[in-house]
Structure 1
Amino acid sequence: MAQGVLAEAASRGMNVPSDLAVMGFGDLSSAAQVHPALSTVSVDGRHIGLQVAQALDGGCQSAMGSPNGPAHVSPV
């Protein structure tokens, strides 16, 4: 999606990063091949998935009378 934003900005005569800041999500290898090079955020999907599974399990346990309390998913 960020690469599409770069292309659209260029088609409108905008200069990135002077006129517009763009950041990618997902640490794509192709981000370095566009001009200007795109900064991306790396995501550990396995870690996030594990936290979600634990939160869901904790929520189910709490609903069934477990003393675990509320579950929280923290950002990476």
Structure 2
Amino acid sequence: MSQMHQSNECDEFITIIGASMAEINAEFRAQGLADREFSIVHRIGRHRFTRVNSSGAEHMFEGQPMIAATFARMRG
């Protein structure tokens, strides 16, 4: 049985949101994330985003689904 990496306070995550995978790939390269040892942590897919704060909830991107990809640099 394989063990999954347990996230800790030293791990760093970056989520890139875009209308297409091409946009996400371009931003991944622009930020130099591969050189900084970031890798994808989950499958890429369409998401709807809601931001919640003390005033309530807000649908982001006018409620339109966007593609999101989360990358991480694991430490420790």
Considering only CA atoms, is the larger Rg found in Structure 1 or Structure 2?
A: 1
Would the TM-score normalized by the shorter structure come out above 0.5? no
TM (norm. structure 2) is: 0.25
